[in-house]
Amino acid sequence: MSANQIFTVGLIQMRCSDDPAENRERALAKIREAASRGAQVICLPELYATQYFCQSEDHANFDLAEPIPGPTTAALAKVAAEKKVVIIGSLFERRAAGIYHNTAVVIDADGSMKGMYRKMHIPDDPLYYEKFYFTPGDLGFRAFDTAQGRIGTLVCWDQWYPEGARITALQGADVLFYPTAIGWHPSEKAEFGAAQADAWRTMQRAHAISNGVYVAAVNRVGHETLARVGGAGIEFWGGSFVSDPFGVVLAEASRTEEEILIVPCDRRHQETVRRHWPFLRDRRIDAYPPIARRFIDPTD
């Protein structure tokens, strides 16, 4: 585990075509570019190898899944070792026949796989039919020791749940990574778009503040309309960003363009923030058992 106080995050905001091989090659090229610009921990968007196929329920899409370890993890491991960087990659995992996960893998700077996180919160909304495809994660919330320190990763819909961020931070993660694929329904954008994107950004900044950690969210961009689905599709809103441990946004990408964000993060700043805002110290863990209940009924 690195003793360095400063580690540099690289976020790859990219478009995704209907050609998985092209997406994978472009992602590897962008990882190399990020590394050449000083990134030490590099994160790709959610399910970057394909267009966002969850816009419909189609059994043929299960053919897009692959095992872990498999071809994608091997390719990521090769470039991680080549460039001596830590990589967080998001995959459609085929665990067994009929069991598939939305999984983030953590590849260390020597090319070894430190572990994986299976997405815990699975949405089911118009054009986000993830419950059809993904079995909920069963590995719990996790943090991983890497060459650049201890990091945690969650995935997209997990962004909205403070419990996941808290549990990961309590395992000593200095930074929480959120590979993401989130966007607007074009018909709703004019009325609700700004508020939706602001809520997304605000929620993750809140995770940074309440836990005293860096938060790095990396989204895709582009308007994706699947040929087999039709309709208006989804306009992915980009806006990838890194927040410091008190919610200050250190860097933020555009809503429409591919970008690579390179952001230095300082553990000494994290220490200072936590000393002055000791939220973890003042937690009343003796009073929190009800949080594990689905709902607290008035008659209970």
Q: Considering the candidates 30, 83, 114, 119, report the single residue annotated as catalytic.
A: 119
Q: Which of 16, 54, 156, 265 is catalytic?
A: 156
Whether 119 is catalytic: yes
Position of tokens 């555009």? 254
- Among the options 16, 43, 46, 224, which is catalytic? 46
Listed in sequence order, the residues at least 6 apart from 103 whose beta carbon sits closer than 8 Å to its beta carbon are 68, 90, 91, 92, 93, 116, 117, 118, 119, 137
Q: Is the dihedral of CA 88, 89, 91, 96 positive or negative?
A: negative
State how far the Cα of 185 lies from the Cα of 182, in Å rounded to an integer: 10
| Alpha helices in 84-145, H assignment, sequence order | none
- 54 included as an active-site residue: no
Peptide bond into 69 cis (omega under 30): yes
Which residue, chain included where needed, has tokens 């970008």?
259
The rounded distance, in Å, linking the Cα atoms of 219 and 183 is 9
As given in the structure block, the two tokens for residue 266 are 């300082």
Q: Quick one: which of 245, 251, 172 has its CA closest to 204? A: 245
User: Could you confirm whether 259 is annotated as catalytic?
Assistant: no
Residues assigned a catalytic role: 46, 119, 156
